[in-house]
Structure 1
């Protein structure tokens, strides 16, 4: 059974959302950032069914700073052949060349 968001999760979400709005983010973007942050923490604590993200990482960050799983997910979106056997640096190169 997967636990729903706790009261602490809800408070953290609201706090992050408010901080993002104060820094100039629109409500939709602030809500997305807050939810992703809370869900990432829940995933890392083992409180979600998936142990890995299906995301592709922050699009504003460099490819090198993303995890192997995030790069793999992005390569999958781009339908890059042979991605399952690629190293992190090979995935970065393949994504850039696509």
Structure 2
């Protein structure tokens, strides 16, 4: 952790690091993930002395983004997400549709 970090950020760092290690990341990678995450949170809250534009101007936090940018070549919404959208729009026959059919019915 950077010098001058507060107790909350220290706890946050340890929590993220331990979670990454439980998911199978090496200790080095877990430390990197935790550092980057905590540093971004510090930048957003104005605790960091300097930060990148994306750290401070991204409209969504990592938790709000929900992994939207965690992998490239995204295939769009999942079948469950499409189904739920179809349910909201009361599209008949949705329960027997596959993902492609749901996309077509929803106009995706």
TM-score after normalising by structure 2: 0.46
- Residue 45 in 1 paired to residue 45 in 2? yes
1:24 equivalent in structure 2? 24
| Greater relative contact order (Cα < 8 A, sep 6+) | 1
| Offset at residue 17 of structure 1 (A) | 0.4
| Bigger Rg, structure 1 or 2 | 2
Deviations 1:43-97 (A, max 9, x none): 0111112242599xxxx6439xxxxxxxxxxxxxxxxxxxxxxxxxxxxxxxxxx
User: Superposition pairs for residues 83-98 of structure 1, below 5 Å?
Assistant: none
- State which of 56, 72, 76 in structure 2 corresponds to 1:62: 72
CA distance in 2, matches of 1:16, 1:50: 22
TM-score after normalising by structure 1: 0.50
Identify unmatched segments of 5+ residues in structure 1: 64-98
- What's the secondary structure of 2:52's corresponding residue? coil
CA distance in 2, matches of 1:20, 1:53: 26
Identify unmatched segments of 5+ residues in structure 2: 56-69, 74-108
CA distance in 2, matches of 1:45, 1:54: 13
